[in-house]
Structure 1
């Protein structure tokens, strides 16, 4: 059923993502009122009216396209954490981050995107990464490749003899233990910087503009679309114990995704505690 759906409705999903952004996100870009921005768990965890309405829009559109499917969305899970359990269920799951990079969105920075992925039984099947202000749409299908605005993406490998470019969890979002692990990236031959929108960092890997990411949190909506995009562009990922990232959680953190396996292993080696 899912294969048939993907064979006939990839562009329908893409259009649903574009419509949600056009209706609820871009009209509010640089137009937000103060009372349309709310702190969820602290000053670095924001939600806006655009996040909420875009997720509601996508939830209706995506479940209509694929009857019997369910949605695990960032804002719905914040309201009811039990809904995250659908990732381990039998129904096809749409994993939605309506505005990935809310901080950028709030500050009028165009570096944000809408992320949608389709999974079943924990397996990623397709993903859509849409940066509406930048005008970029990346689509990946399991076994079918990754494409940016219709052009195939190839991650390739880092250039020998150059510093490894790594985007890492922003210090504002890390625990003391995670900060200590990420300090391993302060090493010769590594050019590490705090990440922006996770979805756009994954896209940068898939297009060969970034070598790797090192992330310390595992919310599926931040990673699902990008992990498939990187994999279909020829890249890979692994958690701290060397196993693949699993959508329902319980991963050994931090984890890394990168342009090739040697890059990921190098990053994980720097993140692992010493003897």
Structure 2
């Protein structure tokens, strides 16, 4: 790869942030350590902010000259997001994905990073602090589960199944009420549609062959760049609702991922119609 980012170093940096700043705070947050951002289900904790500070302070070591785009950095300076599409090299970080779960003491959260070069996602990492393992992909090189003991296992999506047998994740919270009513009624056509409130683990489940589809509406880059690349490298078909590829510059337009193109088209036609 020509993007000159030390992927192993970046993976280790995510782990270090988790060990030093995230895990000590898990189930150990005090009242003042959790704050509401846009609404009651949109939270930020001291863990998010401290982890992002650590990663940002060290990013030059693993990605010299890269633009750093972190979820909390953008919350403080929204103009930072506009620089992503044109950057020669950028590292996009979600310090804690699944903050709602983390703050509630639910052991389902992750640390994500992606590398963007000239408007294209070229690498993605999803680290699970509790499992102490990474799912990693570089464009064109497959998706891999990397464990702390050094072992690696190539990931692959599962085979497609009929609509009524599909199990997947769907985040419907950003639909307007009428559209949400229609989509949630349509979701009765699949076997199970759920939301773990944690894209990091949802993408790991799809890439690992455990579920058949994922649907999201709000496309913040720290939530979806790493997971989409990892899923595609594991064989998934991913596109926005209009069929166009999902790019780092996109913030809306919906995103649907499935085990294959035929499943994607069935889900788009039968379930996610609005």
Q: Output the TM-score relative to the length of structure 1.
A: 0.91
Unaligned runs of 5+ in 1: none
1:139 aligns with 2:140: no
Match of 1:163 in 2: 165
**Matches of 1:147 and 1:67 in 2, distance apart?**
25
Unaligned runs of 5+ in 2: 147-151
1:175/1:59 CA distance change after superposition, 3 Å: farther
Total equivalences in the alignment: 268
Matches within 5 A, 1:22-171: 22-149=19-146, 150-160=152-162, 163-171=165-173
Matches within 5 A, 1:140-219: 140-149=137-146, 150-160=152-162, 163-171=165-173, 173-176=174-177, 178-180=179-181, 182-183=183-184, 185-219=186-220
Instruction: Name which of structure 1's ranges 229-238 and 258-267 shifts more when overlaid on structure 2.
Output: 258-267
Question: Does the 8 Å contact 1:145/1:233 carry over to 2?
Answer: yes
1:61/1:159 CA distance change after superposition, 3 Å: same
Q: Secondary structure at the match of 1:88?
A: coil
Question: Does the 8 Å contact 1:199/1:226 carry over to 2?
Answer: yes
Question: Does the 8 Å contact 1:218/1:249 carry over to 2?
Answer: yes
**Matches of 1:260 and 1:75 in 2, distance apart?**
34
Q: Output the TM-score relative to the length of structure 2.
A: 0.91
RMSD: 1.8
Q: Secondary structure at the match of 2:189?
A: coil
Q: Secondary structure at the match of 2:4?
A: helix
1:178/1:199 CA distance change after superposition, 3 Å: farther
1:177/1:67 CA distance change after superposition, 3 Å: farther
1:226/1:131 CA distance change after superposition, 3 Å: same
How far residue 260 of structure 1 moved from its aligned partner, in angstroms, is: 1.4
